[in-house]
A and B are shown apart, each in its own frame.
Chain A
């Protein structure tokens, strides 16, 4: 089954404790992206990757890091989480870079930073 998986689905942590949210897709997609979803703000892009070793900032990259060492994986790293990073996070992927291709979303990771 074609899918985007994220782990963990739920995470409660404390300020300053480094964490990684994993994202993996099995569709051989070149383009991958991370979004955060907050009430009343919709989806905002954090980082995206056009292909292996090619990443770039989205609209709200502060406090986040990413890497793309393999085509299928695109982990999101919070080096020193803060309470304002409490949010619902989605990973997404699509074939090639063009936005007219359907974007497939993971199930989401709900992060709470105390």
Chain B
């Protein structure tokens, strides 16, 4: 079984400041890792994912996340946030093997990012 811990439920940050949203996971098997974003009054959208290869993955809107196997973390960062980044961010994990259970995504409880003008 997998579990995901998002260490901060709310993160306020000033516009153009950097931000880091923390995510730690627990799993007895290798995993795939995801960040989803939920803008106000919308469903979730995939922001970025780590499957294999380079441990640093990037999104098209300037976010990046780094997979750290030894620390079982997948923190999300952005060097300069915009008002439009205000949203709730969810970290998620799934097993990387094939077979029973491999289709399940386990979500963290979410981090609300509020960008202050």
Taking Cβ atoms with an 8 Å cutoff, the residues of A that contact B are 4, 31, 40-45, 48, 50, 90, 92, 97-100, 102-103, 105-108
Contact = CB atoms under 8 A, between A and B. Distances in A.
Contacts of B110: 42-43
A43 B103 contact: no
The interface residues of chain B, by DSSP majority, are classed as loop
A42 B90 contact: yes
A90 B103 contact: no
Contacts of A42: 90, 107-110
B32 interface: yes
B43 A106 contact: yes
B9 A40 contact: yes
Interface stretch (B13-21, B45-53, B56-64, B74-82): B45-53
Interface string B32-46: 100010000111111
A107 B43 contact: yes
B98 interface: yes
Interface of B: 9, 32, 36, 41-46, 49, 51, 90, 94-96, 98, 102-105, 107-110
Contacts of A108: 41-43
Contacts, number: 57
18 contacts: A31-B103, A42-B110, A43-B110, A45-B104, A92-B43, A92-B44, A97-B102, A98-B102, A98-B103, A99-B94, A99-B102, A99-B105, A100-B32, A100-B94, A103-B36, A103-B105, A105-B45, A107-B42
A50 B103 contact: yes
A99 B32 contact: yes
Given A50-B103, A107-B42, 19 more contacts: A4-B43, A31-B103, A40-B109, A42-B90, A42-B108, A43-B107, A48-B103, A90-B44, A92-B43, A98-B98, A98-B102, A99-B94, A99-B95, A100-B32, A100-B51, A103-B36, A103-B44, A103-B105, A105-B43
Contacts of B102: 97-99
